[in-house]
Amino acid sequence: MSKKIIPSFFMKKKKVMTDRNEQEILSNAPVQFAMQLRDKGADAIMITDLSGNDNEHEEALYLIKEMVRSIDIPILLGGNVKRMEDVKKILYAGAEKAILDFGGDSNVKLLEEVSKRFGKEKIAVLIDDLNPLSSDFTCLESYAGEAILDYRGENMDKPTGGLKLPVIALLHKGEEAVVMEALKKDNVAGAASPLFCRSEYDCHKLKETGLQLGIPMHVTAGALQWADLKVNDQGLLPVIVQDYKTDEVLMLAYMNEEAFEATVKTDKMTYYSRSRKELWVKGLTSGHYQYVKSLQADCDYDTLLAKVQQVGAACHTGNRTCFFNPIIQKEEKGSNPLQVLWDVFKVIEDRKINPREGSYTNYLFDKGIDKILKKLGEEATEIVIAAKNPNPEEIKYEISDFLYHAMVLMSVKGVTWEEIMEELANR
């Protein structure tokens, strides 16, 4: 089991705090703060929402949604969980797991219900003490995917051995020795702490310490080493870079051994500049980072293919991709189906920003959401009618109409295809 380093923090009124009493405000920009933690090597982020009312809670969920979209690492979210609907909102915001605090009896009773509804892998439980639970931990092991054990008393001898669940040790002391002592326990899957949020902590360095102590840390491990690859006469390898969601080719660059090792270590694409003769981290000056999703060698081991999460534009010109100068362009009969949906949605979004006279899309925007919903309902009915027809051509036409109107609704409500795809993947 590889061990994770998980910064944890509290959120209240759009502020990030290290404790419930607001003794230390870490940031007034939660999304940007989460991005900083990701860049420092966090494997996940644990958040407790301390919102005092429904409006604050909705604002917190919106910020969580933005974090999920921006950082692409797991978020564990707790706080304000009293009923199934609260868990649903947390998961729909994009959190990997909803945390049920076992300090309240209502959540103990809620565990089975939400586990059966959303799946045990989506549920974590926060517990201060294992003793009140049954000796065989049946309720936890049957209905939770992970246990977060709060070491508030700093008693590192707190038992975990009988629990057949991955355990996250929630620590309140940040000394390396304390962290490593917790991670050495067999069924401890990670260490979480508000202290990991502070500027002096670098999750990459904590992982390096763990590896030196023989602890299997959660780090990127390449199946191939640099020595296995065939470099050119300058000691370089070409790297083709693709968007991991759409497979769009973004750019071509080169790596030397140092750039390769930095990429593997930090999960940020790092290259060697042949013109400047120096290493460069993509996005270091522009903010347009590339986060590694996969790295593969070709059949001859002399070219790499990187699939990345691209922030902003890949090209220094501001274009999304460096490949935008046509030489030969033949008419295409077919296309990547996901790309078609993205492209149509981009056109709809553009119509919203740049209205065009005579545009049906602008007509729908002008008429408002009631008109859009009416059309969506009509198209759904048309699909039902077409499905009774033995000719499949009609249903293809009606489904296309329905998807178009659904995308107009998505645009009005601020929902993207990325969010839809993520939600489908989560199911």
Overall fold of domain 226-310: Ubiquitin-like (UB roll) (3.10.20)
Domain 337-426 -> CATH class = mainly alpha
Segments of the chain scoring below 50 in pLDDT: 134-136
Overall fold of domain 4-212: TIM Barrel (3.20.20)
What is the four-CA torsion angle of 41, 44, 50, 53, rounded to 10 degrees?
A: 120
pTM of the model: 0.76
pLDDT in tens, 163-212: 778 999 999 877 888 899 999 988 899 999 998 998 888 899 999 999 99
DSSP state, 389? S
Please state, in angstroms and rounded to a whole number, the distance separating the CA atoms of residues 422 and 252: 28
Evaluate whether 60 touches 91 at the Cβ level (below 8 Å).
no
* Count of Cβ atoms closer than 10 Å to residue 40 Cβ: 19
Domain residue limits, the chain: 4-212, 226-310, 337-426
Residue 155 is predicted with a pLDDT of 52
Please state, in angstroms and rounded to a whole number, the distance separating the CA atoms of residues 10 and 99: 13
User: Which 3 state secondary structure label does DSSP give 202?
Assistant: coil
What is the four-CA torsion angle of 228, 234, 237, 241, rounded to 10 degrees?
A: 160
β-pairing, 45-49 vs 270-273, is unpaired
Task: List the alpha helices (DSSP H) in 184-316.
Answer: 203-212, 257-266
Q: What letters, b where the CB count within 10 A reaches 16 and e where it falls short, cover 244-267?
A: bbbebebbebbbbbebbebbbebb
Residue 72 is predicted with a pLDDT of 83
Residue 134 is predicted with a pLDDT of 46
